[in-house]
A = this chain, B = another copy of it.
Amino acid sequence: MSLLVTGSIGIDTVEAPSGKVRNVLGGSCVYFAYAASFFSDVRLVGVVGDDCPKDFLKPLQKNRRIDLSGVEVRPGSKTFRWHGRYHQDVNRRDTVAVELNVLAERGPTIPEKFRDSRYVFLANTHPALQAEMLGQLKSPKLVVADTMDLWITTQRDALVGMLRRIDGVVLNDSEARLLTGEANLVAAGFQIAEMVRSFAVIKKGEHGSLLITGRRAYPLPSFPTVNVVDPTGAGDSFAGAMMGYLTAADAIDPAALRRAIAYGTVTACFALEGFSLNKFLTTARDDIDARMSEFRELLGF
């Protein structure tokens, strides 16, 4: 089965209590793709500017499961840049600087050879752009999107219209509350699951996640860890492993979704343990499966 992801590729500068890195590989579809590649092949679609260093995307080729032929290098444009600073409590962060650059231009085009993708993740971008990419797909089996507070506030109609056309949505707790006006997350989740065709996943960072599907709410804590180096990309990695698992299993029933989310949880935990893709690059599928077993054991009572 084929998994397609569209999203941002970024040049990140990150400051955290554990250290600082400059101009490292980041962006939603970068973390997503690497996490997904532990489970399935991945087709990555995104745009960088011609300022993007040669070999910048090379880490994504490590396990040879990520097809980068959908990455457009746009002449005369500049790559998206983000500079974030985490507090002592790494659950809080400030954006020091952001340069949208190529993300503020027209979106990427999905290459003809990728349009038959059955599993698709539209990472966070303008909902009109997400809808446009949706229109380029031939017969997807499962389309899931991410979004953010900016679009909920400024592009509500476009967002709601796009959500109506897809199967699932992944968003964080504050976004779920903003989208619904509901303080109770479970109630918010039920409302959001009604906005899409099938399910909603609410990410709660250190507190885990909540899946709403088939009129039921499934909570899951995060995997307990003290080794948090850099939370950047953890949410994208969560979604990546979730979609990668579903693609490999070629299943979208509630039981598969729940296993997918558990895999998303443990895989995201590895993303936290290094800057950029550093920890992922020394992680094997066996490591993820071992942590999955430990997670099951921690949750059994």
Q: Is the CB of A298 within 8 A of B207?
A: no
User: What mask results when residues 253 to 268 of chain A are scored 1 for a CB within 8 Å of chain B, else 0?
Assistant: 0010011011000000
Query: Within 8 Å of chain B (Cβ to Cβ): is A183?
Result: yes
Which B residues lie within 8 Å of A88 (CB)?
Answer: 183
The number of times this chain is found in the oligomer is 2
B90 touches A183 (CB 8 A): yes
A95 in contact (CB, < 8 A):
no
A224 contact set on B, CB distance < 8 A: 186, 210, 217-219
Asked if A208 and B210 make an inter-chain contact with CB atoms under 8 angstroms apart, the answer reads no
Number of residues from A at the complex interface, CB < 8 A? 39
Proximity string of chain A (114-133) to chain B, C-beta cutoff 8 Å, 1 when within and 0 when not: 00000000000000000000
Q: Which residues of B contact A139 (CB under 8 A)?
A: none
Rounded to whole Å, the gap between the CB of A211 and the closest CB of chain B is 10
Contacts A88-B183, A89-B183 given; does A301 touch B262 at CB 8 Å: yes
Q: Are B258 and A301 in contact (CB under 8 A)?
A: yes
Which of B183, B190, B208, B225 lies in contact with A207, CB distance below 8 A? Answer: B208
Which 3 A-B pairs give the minimum distances between C-beta atoms? A219-B221, A89-B183, A207-B207
